[in-house]
Amino acid sequence: MLQPRIPVNPLPTGHTIPLPKPTPVADIELTAPAPVPVAPARTSVQLTPGSALALVAGGGAVVLVLGAVLVSMLLAVAITGASVAVIAVVLRLLVRDLQKGR
């Protein structure tokens, strides 16, 4: 059932594609590759105490801002969920009152 079916051509066209002839090994020239340019040596980054302190302060600021954004998003989701729950309870009470005929 799941075996592939290969179609068979009942009438061959008669056209043949000639095979490419390989190049004789004697005709190939061996050349050396071009030399690769050497990149200049990079200097290492030197941190002074002031720049290290600025780097740490910047990283701390990023963490605080990212944390505040994530906490505010979590708070927004929690408030939305609580308000939807309150609306569901109120609607359920209203539907029950309408069914009792008040």
How many residues are present in the chain?
102
Helix, strand, coil shares of the chain, percent, nearest 5, are: 55, 0, 45
Task: Supply the mean pLDDT for the chain.
Answer: 84
Q: What is the mean pLDDT of residues 59-81?
A: 97
**pTM of the full structure:** 0.46
pLDDT in tens, 39-67: 777 777 788 889 999 999 999 999 999 99
Q: With the C-alpha atoms ordered 93, 94, 99, 102, is the resulting torsion angle positive or negative?
A: positive
